[in-house]
Amino acid sequence: MLGFSRSSLDLRPAEGRPAQDVHETTGRGQERTVSARVAGSADRLADPSADQRARGTTGGTVAVLVLAGLLGVTAATYLVIAGTTLGSHLFVPELWFFENSEALAPRTIGETAASTWNAVALGVWAVAWLLLLVAVRRGVAAGWLLLVGGAWSVPLAVGPPLFSGDAYFYTAIGAAVHLGVDPYENGPGVLGDEWAVRGAEEFWRDEPTPYSPPFVFLLRGLARVFHADLISSFVTLRVLSVLALLVSAYVLVQIARDLGFAANRAVWLGVLNPLVLLHVVSAAHNDALMVALLLPGLLLALRGRPLLGVLFCVAAAGIKVIALVAVFVIGVDHALKQTTWPGRLRALAVTGGLGAGAFALTVQLSGFGWGWLDNLDTPGKASEPLAPATALAMALDWRDPPIDGVRQGFLIAGVVLVLVYSGLAKRWGLLRSTGWVFVVVIATGSVVWPWYLLVPTMIFAAAGTRSERVMVAVWSVLLLFATQPGGQSVLGLLSRPEVDHVMLWTYVVLVIGGLAWAMRNRPWRRQEAEPAPADVS
């Protein structure tokens, strides 16, 4: 259905920078842009070293893979053994098959030592990931990288959820709905001391859920199948998350191939990324399911099937409603490809109507009504300085912060920027525009958590320019240290409003730097995203 060919399954890296993109007509009579494979072959003829890289891995590359694999496995194993005692919001026994190591717990070795060893483990893993870039530059096949990622994931797959306890809230929602609680009126805590809801953090235990009704429908189904057993439901969610990551990896390769980018770099940045593995394999965030539906939708739109792509994105919005912004960008992109204004308006109406109608249908079929819309601001009740709007409000007046007013201002700015970046789809390409729209929606939202950036991370991994890939690598490393294994925000532990001032000035510097770069490079004048050669990061 996605139009994958046998050759698209080849995970060997595309060597050399593609020449000018070639427009070819597919069997369906539609035109799409593909990379010039002939140019890649010419590059290898002109550069024998490129041909050597293409034939396979060298001894040095194998050594890099082995070293990076061992470092990452060691770091992940330590994190799993240490468990969630550092930064945990609650201490409830029997939430997993085995308990946290007391020898590594803060109450045994001290808070400072536990925090230091946690930071060392994350740092070692980040170094291992960056070390793999050496192999990527040497042209290692994406399949070898996936083997390393699989080794890194084994400890995470058998350990408790780390760096976020949201998955326990998912299971609590499912159990509560199964036992007759309206999830959009009450939190699962109304059940009292029910074992199935013990893992939910205190804040979420008493709050109605903001999640889309189709996702709640899924959670209720798991609770029914496993009789509201917490661990069984969570394990199933983790299996689904891992499968979603595999689907995302496959689609990333297809997107990279279609755009003439190197598949190995897309896999390295979008799949082996420790930030991705921690929050998909270990924490089992529902963002993984959303991305696994969103990326195929974007790929279908990229290949000239926007309406089918819209349906996939609507399915992703059934997990998290933020995916609807991709429906909007696909609609704008489809409209901009029309030659007349009536055609553009018709394209917008068709894609918008299909998206809205399909989403409304899924909500109705879920059987929970529309009361969930009132709960979309629930995550914003957490005042975290990582959100620019919160940092600004606290910096203005930390005793009585004007949070509502500031967030409304950010919302207006976000809408304007979404329109701007969507309008650049014709020049930048659908994928890059969608990535930036997600960045805008996240940055101007009421709360920001590291896993929120999974969508733009994967999009830029497959379709981003060099600057965008560097940006993703930087935030991926920094955000590893933003939360503790138990889920507590690191910034939330620091003194306020000092930390808010620091974050605010950090964002100001980033914005000024971004504007300076944009004025110098003028990326809006480019017609296509800059292809990335396989041997240059």
pLDDT per residue as tens, the chain (537 positions): 454 443 333 433 333 333 333 333 333 333 344 333 323 333 332 333 333 344 445 788 999 999 999 999 999 999 999 999 999 877 777 788 888 888 999 999 999 999 999 999 999 999 999 999 999 999 999 999 999 999 999 999 999 999 998 999 999 999 999 999 999 999 998 988 787 888 888 888 888 999 999 999 999 999 999 999 999 999 999 999 999 999 999 999 999 999 999 999 999 999 999 999 999 999 999 999 999 999 999 999 999 999 999 999 999 999 999 999 999 999 999 999 999 999 999 999 999 999 999 999 999 999 898 888 988 888 888 788 999 999 999 999 988 999 999 999 999 999 999 999 999 999 999 999 999 999 999 999 999 999 999 999 999 999 999 999 999 999 999 999 999 999 999 998 888 899 999 999 999 998 898 888 777 776 655 444 444 444 333
Q: At what angle do helices 324-336 and 430-443 cross, to 10 degrees?
A: 140
Angle (CA) 256 299 164, round 5°: 85
* Nearest-angstrom CA–CA distance, 280 and 263: 21
Q: Which residues contact 188 (CB under 8 A, 6 or more apart)?
A: 169, 172, 173, 175, 176, 181, 194, 196, 197, 200, 205
Q: Are 291 and 455 a contacting pair, CB within 8 Å? A: yes
Which is it for the CA torsion 84, 90, 92, 94, positive or negative? negative
pLDDT for 365 equals 94
Residues in the chain: 537
* Nearest-angstrom CA–CA distance, 402 and 502: 18
Q: What is the DSSP string of 216-248?
A: HHHHHHHHHHTTT-HHHHHHHHHHHHHHHHHHH
CA-closest candidate to residue 272, choices 151, 160, 439? 151
Q: Report the DSSP beta bridge partners of residue 33.
A: 23
* E-strand stretches of 11-170: 22-25, 31-34
Q: Which residues contact 41 (CB under 8 A, 6 or more apart)?
A: none
Q: Furthest-apart CA pair in the chain: how many Å? A: 71
pLDDT for 339 equals 93
pLDDT for 524 equals 55
Q: Which residues contact 129 (CB under 8 A, 6 or more apart)?
A: 68, 72, 268, 272, 273, 274
pLDDT for 516 equals 84
